[in-house]
Chains A and B, each alone.
Chain A
Amino acid sequence: MKNKNSQGAQECPSRCPDNSAFKQQKLPAWKPKLTAPSVLSSFFTIGVFCLLMGICIILSARSVKEIQINYSDICLSCSKLRENSSNWDKECNCSVHFTLQENMLGDVFMYYRLQNFYQNHRRYALSRSDAQLLGQDVNIENSNCAPFTTYPNGTPMAPCGAIANSMFNDSIQLSYHLNSYTAIQVPWLKSGNSWWSDKNVKFRNPTSYNLSSAFAGTTRPPYWQKPAYLLDEEDERNNGYINDDFIIWMRVSAFPTFRNLYRRLHHTNQFADGLPAGNYTFHITYNFPVTRLKGKKQVVLSTITWSGGSNLFLGIAYTVSGAVTVLAGFIITAIHLKLRKKKTYFQR
């Protein structure tokens, strides 16, 4: 009888559920406790880490040298000329002088900076044909380029779309005044500024024996002064769709105020270490109108570090949040100490 009983007890009847940890909801588990003593250490760890990181980032960001020159106001005459679109073929040049107080050592980058240019406008950002830019022979009529696809006579635009049409087309040159008489052109690198993937994968010229024939049957976008195959006549590998300036422009920027990389300093001669301090002049061919969009144009010279550009924000953010966290840690400690006597409800 005893045996039977014990057997009966062990033997599970048919409908009895399994006694597995999962099914009985008894899986081994870690139960974090959100009370002061248990989280204090995490507060202080996070706080101290953020503080340290913040200080590092600030220090590195401060080492960045940067100079910004707004030339849309300086070249007022040119911008007025450009306001009237009938003057599109008249050339307008403009020079801006400035003095570099300190040497800019290391890699120096020249950017153009646009304000209030809404490249991120939804329909604007859509207005392109990636297939066309990959050199494929596609019917751009069906692409997102509309209405910048074809001229009324039916000739398609190459490249099509609003982004390409509105490409930044000022040319900027920098001369370094060794003294008040002699000025030498600062050497810049035109290519290698864009993403490698863009230059080599996303953008391809149409295949043909030469570039001009590849673009045969198409015309430049309405706002352009010259066709795509003449963007860089000197360098075959920087011409057409794979022109670095074009590629960079086609990468739609995130904010209405943005800068795009224009040139890199070529480290030769006097400029082997960077830009020496002294007097410089920008020579700008002013083509790109901004008054209509209530915008501004700047040219920027800057170096960079591992943590990005001259923007101090990230460093400050780290420092402040680190400080706040540590402060919170102290507050919790205080509360914990104050309440420790009261808190015996469940602990003995």
Chain B
Amino acid sequence: EETEPGREEEKERKKRRRRKRKKKESKTRTVRSNLLLPGPEAEKPQRSPLANNCLKTTKYTALSFLPKNLFEQFHRLANVYFVFIALLNFVPAVNAFQPELALAPVLFILAVTAIKDLWEDYSRYRSDNEINHMECLVYCRNEKKYMNRYWKEVEVGDFVQLRCNEIIPADILLLSSSDPDGLCHIETANLDGETNLKQRQIVRRFLELDSEFDPLKFTSLIECEKPNNDLSRFRGYIVHKNGKRDGLYKENLLLRGCTVRNTEEVTGIVIYAGHETKALLNNSGPRYKRSKLERQMNIDVLWCVLILIVMCLFSAIGHGLWVWQYGEKKPVFDVPGLDGNYLSPVLAAVYLFLTMIIVFQVLIPISLYVSIEIVKVCQVFFIHQDKELYDEETDSQLQCRALNITEDLGQMQYIFSDKTGTLTENKMVFRRCTVSGIEYSHDANARRLAMYQEADSEEEETAAKGGTLSQRNSVSSHQSIKVVHRSLSMKSHRRTGSRAEAKRASILSKHTAFSSPMEKDITPDPNLLEKVNECARSLEVMRSHEQSLSQLTPELSDIFDFFIALTICNTVVVTSPDQPRQKVRVRFELKSPVKTIEDFIRRFTPSRLTSGSNSSSSSSLTTSKSMPRLGSSILSSTSTESTLLKLEEKLAHSPQMNNNGYSSQQGRRAIGSRPEEGELRYEAESPDEAALVYAARAYNCALVGRLPDQVSVELPHLGRLTFELLHTLGFDSIRKRMSVVVRHPLTDEINVYTKGADSVIMDLLLPCSSDDPRGKHQKKIQSKTQNYLNLYAVDGLRTLLMHECLSESSIENREELLFQSALHIETNLHLLGATGIEDRLQDGVPETIANLRKAGLQIWVLTGDKQETAINIAYACKLLDHDEEIITLNAESLETSAALLDHCLLYIESKFSNNTINKTAGSMTVGFGPLSPPSSLVHSSLGLVIDGKTLAYALDKTLEDKFLSLARRCRSVLCCRSTPLQKSMVVKLVRDKLKAMTLAIGDGANDVSMIQVADVGVGISGPEGMQAVMASDFAVPRFRHLEKLLLVHGHWCYSRLANMVLYFFYKNAMFVALLFWYQFYCGFSGSSMIDQWYLIFFNLLFSSLPQLITGVLDKDISAEVLIGVPHLYKSGQKMEEYQPHMFWMNMIDALYQSLVCFFIPFFTYYDSEVDLFSWGTPITTIALFTIILHLAIETKTWTLLHWSSCIFSILLFFIVALVYNVSCPICYPPSNPYWTMEKLMGEPVFYLICIISPVVALLPRFLYRTLQGTAFPTQLQLGRQLNRLPPETRNQILNRLNIKKESIPQKPRCAEHSPQNPQSNASDCFKACNQTPPSQPSQHGNDPAFPSTTRAEHTTGLSVTASPPGALLSGGNKHSSMESMSVEETFPWNTTVDQSGFSLLNWITSTPLFSRFGRVLQLSPRRLQNEVQDNVSVLGSISSLHQDFKGLTGNSLKISSLFVNINSISPPYKYTSIL
């Protein structure tokens, strides 16, 4: 009995403990209104851990600054080392200098860094302060109204009221909005850079409140997740007093830093404040990367340490021996210790070792790190200031976000680029479309677009013509030329007009994205416009005459639905520039908007029961009864009389229809006043959506309003139609499609409109049987569309398919499925049409790529796009050349990938060696010998195309080496359909395995991981948001800026810094060696002839400025030459300016120079009465002269700053010396250099020494440089000579050089590779380099264009063949592809074998084999059949189309190259199939 209560107590305790633990571990945060809390409860301890809204990004406080900053600085090993040495000086037995003095440089360095940190922290503090003192309206309990308060006073649980255009002070749960729908728009540009507006919604239950929101009545409790940095996620629930719960989503949360737009007033409760807001949690500080140069430098610093130790050891042993030789009889100059006893030789040596470390400390350059930091900051400044890296259109300039890797820019070897938004503008322009199998080419639109481009190029041309290089230098003159030209040329005039307009538009409405006139003003295709009008007219007639809608021809109904889909199948928000948001709309008397599938189903079911049951059943009947579905849901569903009648009834009676009738009238009026409508602005989440909506508007099918529950569309004759929006399935990259579920106002049926990538959608199509005419027709449409899609892809257009289906039928049949997944709605789609959207290349991309490639950079494009589009863009931007062979890797499994890689490697190797080439040629080319001589094949211009799936296998541990060795042989690599993770894995692979310098450039969130992995990450500050920029080291406005950034600034930064670092090592070594030589003449006692002041301040004061100036300003080659001769960039890649041996060369030079500077004064003063410092001062002077003159030899350009810095340094030394030597006769023990300098300057010998020593010391280097410049100049020196020529001759030479370089195939490239990875690929490269020359001369001799022309002849049209799914091969010469296509289609296998023979390639495609790889072919037969059947019939139209394309494509895609298509077949089959 006694035990039981005890047990219970225990239990209770346990419970309590558990509860406590629970509280501690709880993963949620509870927020309640601050207004509720009566006094005592307010002081509950749980309040304290919640951060208040006070922003504090400063690192230090007044008190903590010194210790904290010092602590941080001592994390740098060098600082610890120097402090250790300075402290060593305080030990009497080993001290070398006056201890206080020895502290000076260390303190100086620490102080400089501390001041820098302090300044940074202060500016942070100031900005914090500014933000903290911004005001907002917070509800005050005492005053019972909203009062102005500072941001920093806002606390979690406060109620904040925000007005339009105010910045949100904290993460706020939206509770009330002036908007009748409870919406609030926010602009998140500050957060993610996306300029479109985002909708936020108030918590649902509060929407239903009738009265105005009163904070005092807010008694609910909010449970939400702990603060985290996920911007796109917020979960929680709100518990109301009555115990009901409501979920909270990210749509309910206003994030700190965003701006309220288009909404008059919103109120909310603060959930997260201050540092716990998502915005701040996302804000990680600048990144620290160590550059390659710095890594190399650190190795050399270690060498210096080793040298130092050796020198100290040598001195210590020398001293020991020296002491030992005197034995017991101590000489008078050997001073005993303090206690009067002499040191033993060993102990003396040990002490001396420490002393020598102090004396020689300069060898480890204390100021090196500081100097490098200063130089880099200046370099960053200059890069920032470059006018050519400024983009006028976006008013943005280059940003350097990482301060310490500028020199890495000059050493890049691989560029990994994203495609969309990086190479292209990510300005989506509607180009053409196909509706129900009929193509509308939009000629006028194409012409309009071409005009933009033409004007572009013309302007460039004239600028190039009008201004020579030198004139281009000054931007102002360049501009004036432009202006003059504008007035002359009509075209460019027009263009600039539009450009100015675009700019104005973008300035006017900064928050409206994707709205340049190029994208907005779409010229409609007359045919289509005609059809649209016709369709609308007939619809109107039909309605007014109460006719059946089924009288519309299937084509017209398809067109009608196509445009409806274009208009509403998106998430575009309509705004007008006037505040607040236009709210002209007619509201349905609807319940709350549909949010979830369940909801949707729930609401859907009754409607089906009441009105749709009949029609739906009949429609399903029609479909099942082989009654061909025409496409339009309206038609198919209303094809029976009964339904139609019902419908008409509804039209007449339902309030909705009344509304529609009203709105249609209104709409008509609106058409009359069209300019008004033109002011509508579309804000889309992605540019293609906007492009499509604008395209639809061009056909008078305008989106005029979007609410969460309805979409209003204005049609030419029908007026305004309002679709009830039942559900939206958003776009995501996995599904690659989006759908909207709407209730059609005309039919009152529920339709699903889907839009998505063709690859996905095609598989979701309603399977149609081929035995009835309807199905045949449908199939024909599908295959036709597929054909057009292929052609679009060839053109580099992005393709989207529009689809529509009647959901009722599907739901009827499989209601249960709907509950499981939203995906089931999107089945059995009916194809409406496809659109081709052009993503225009950015200005200057092809030129930039060509130049970068000439600079020895390998460019890989990693894109999420599909293969065809990617390949074509690659052609357009000259990433792939027409005379290039393309290896396409598409595999379905690890084994096939391995086999494929093996085979490709074998193939390439065989290409490189003549012997094997003959063998393979023998086996492959049956009877096609003479036309294609093997020698012409020897070139390394290979392109590799790999798709995402294969890439995943290739990145497998077992295959990555093979993949890499294949990829690095290729001139360009194109990875399609790659995920962000794959992108970063590829970069990582190259970075780690090839030890290469990698640069990743991208613009979107999907490039972030790649940008972070690469040695240098470059972000493009474009419309895709700031995520890439935030992750990047450098942010450029445009891709073309990469050229100057790398070729010019990269080269400059690298060469400047490399030279400076080398010079630093030389300087210190030379100076220290002087002291070392002296040890031989002072019994290794550690004494120095150079006064300690000079010794300590030599680096810091006397010799630092010139090298800094040179490090910042020296320009070895001018920007024009660097751009003109991109070859020069290779010097950076090969680390020519700073190679390991150069360190040692510099050390040897330092040794020699120090010997000269030591022994000339030594022998001059030998056996004279000279005293220690009268002899040491000239040496210091000589050393200074030598060091500065050495720098002078190495300096390539002398500006006023260089001159003045050198003169200043020398003057400073003399002034300091003179002043120091008269200032105090006893102050500076032990040197006491009183009057030394003054005395010396009165003696001629001093001057004689000062003249001869630098001359002798620098003669070898000067001679070497001269001979090098004369007899064996490096590329850089030639470039420098080029610099000096008059502009005209220089231009001539540049032109000649470029031609020359183009004609030289990639011969140096394999040589270049070998040093990078000698162990793994030495043999390969050896082979490659060895084997190439014999065959190369023949090519040299030929006209450079020869390979391409011959090949073009032989390879006419390898084209659409039966290939595995996803690997569409297309090619062919423009002129003849049509014929060859038809031939191939009829006899596909023969021709391909022939082709392979022709082109000496391994053309391994053979249908019989496919059957063994069932999985591979699962999907393909259907499409294959389609193609085979339809190609014949479509042929005529294709050829005409092709003519169109030729004229239209701005990018003029000539596809005359070879595709090596290696399918997923294992090797044994391959060979058998060929033989």
Contact = CB atoms under 8 A, between A and B. Distances in A.
A324 B1259 contact: yes
Interface string B485-512: 0110000010011001001000000000
A2 B1289 contact: no
Contacts of B1269: 33-36
A17 B384 contact: yes
B938 to A, nearest CB: 27
B482 A118 contact: no
B331 A14 contact: no
Interface in A233-255: 248, 251-255
B473 interface: yes
Given A17-B387, A254-B1176, A111 B1169 contact: yes
Interface stretch (A92-100, A207-215, A256-264, A272-280): A256-264
A162 interface: yes
B3 interface: no
B1265 interface: yes
A317 B1166 CA distance: 14
A8 interface: yes
A120 B1081 contact: yes
Interface stretch (A71-79, A170-178, A182-190, A304-312): A304-312
A14 B1175 CA distance: 59
Count chain B CB atoms within 10 A of each CB in A223, A292, A314 and give the residue with the most: A314
A52 B387 CA distance: 53
Contacts of B1248: 53, 57, 307, 314, 318
Contacts of B355: 122
Given A255-B1166, A307-B1248, A19 B476 contact: yes
Contacts of B335: 121, 123-124, 127, 147-148, 162
A254 B1283 CA distance: 50
A345 B1278 contact: yes
A277 to B, nearest CB: 24
Contacts of B1239: 195, 197
A90 interface: no
B462 to A, nearest CB: 14
B1245 A197 contact: no
Interface in A283-301: 292-294
A128 B335 CA distance: 12
Nearest to B1263: A328
B479 to A, nearest CB: 5
B1169 A258 contact: yes
A332 B1166 contact: no
B1235 interface: yes
B1226 interface: yes
A31 B1283 contact: yes
Contact of A254 (B475, B486, B497, B1171): B1171
Contacts of B1234: 197-198, 201-202
A13 B1281 contact: no
Interface in A107-151: 111, 113, 117-128, 130-131, 134, 136, 143-144, 146-148
A198 B1233 CA distance: 11
Nearest to B96: A122
Contacts, number: 298
Contacts of A36: 1266-1267, 1269-1270
Interface in A10-43: 10, 13-19, 23-36, 39
A335 B1269 CA distance: 11
Contacts of A216: none
A259 B1283 contact: no
B385 interface: yes
Contacts of B1175: 254
B734 interface: no
B1255 to A, nearest CB: 6
B208 interface: no
A147 B1226 contact: no
A265 interface: no
B91 to A, nearest CB: 14
A341 interface: no
Contacts of B134: none
Contact of A293 (B333, B1244, B1271): B333
Interface string A201-237: 1100000000000000000000100000000000000
A318 B1163 CA distance: 13
A321 interface: yes
Interface residues of B, number: 111
A10 B338 contact: no
Contacts of B847: none
A257 B1165 CA distance: 11
Interface string B1083-1120: 10111010000000000000000000000010100010
A6 interface: yes
Given A9-B479, A33-B1284, A293-B333, A17 B1197 contact: no
Contacts of A53: 1248, 1251-1252
B1087 A5 contact: no
B1281 A27 contact: no
Interface stretch (B28-36, B392-400, B608-616): B392-400
Contact of A348 (B1115, B1162, B1249, B1289): B1289
Given A25-B1113, A195-B1235, A328-B1259, A144 B1229 contact: yes
Contacts of B336: 147
Count chain B CB atoms within 10 A of each CB in A19, A125, A257, A335 and give the residue with the most: A125
Contact of B1266 (A122, A256, A318, A332): A332
A37 B374 CA distance: 37
Interface of B is mostly: helix
B37 interface: no
Contact of B1197 (A13, A14, A31, A260): A31
B1252 A121 contact: no
Interface in B388-442: 390, 392, 395-397
B1166 A293 contact: no
Interface in B336-377: 336-340, 355
Interface in A155-184: 162, 165-166
B1232 interface: yes
Contacts of B981: none
Contacts of B1263: 328, 332
B484 to A, nearest CB: 9
Contact of A1 (B479, B497, B1169, B1270): B497
Nearest to B1049: A25
Contacts of A251: 1171
B1266 A15 contact: no
A325 B1198 contact: no
Contacts of A5: 483, 486, 496-497, 500
B386 interface: yes
Contact of A346 (B1168, B1171, B1293): B1293
Nearest to A255: B1081
A311 B1229 contact: no
B1171 A253 contact: yes
Nearest to A32: B1198
B1085 A17 contact: no
In the A-B complex, the 3 residue pairs with the closest CB atoms: A122-B1087, A197-B1235, A293-B331
Given A28-B1200, A29-B1199, A143-B1229, 6 more contacts: A15-B395, A32-B1198, A34-B1262, A57-B1248, A257-B1166, A292-B332
Interface of B: 96, 326, 329-340, 355, 382, 384-387, 390, 392, 395-397, 473-476, 479, 482-483, 486-487, 493, 496-497, 500, 503, 1052, 1081-1083, 1085-1087, 1089, 1113, 1115, 1119, 1160, 1162-1172, 1174-1176, 1193, 1196-1202, 1225-1226, 1229-1230, 1232, 1234-1235, 1238-1239, 1244-1245, 1248-1249, 1251-1252, 1255-1256, 1259, 1262-1263, 1265-1271, 1273, 1277-1278, 1280-1285, 1289, 1293
12 contacts: A5-B500, A6-B486, A19-B474, A34-B1266, A35-B1266, A118-B334, A121-B333, A197-B1234, A252-B1172, A253-B1170, A325-B1259, A335-B1267
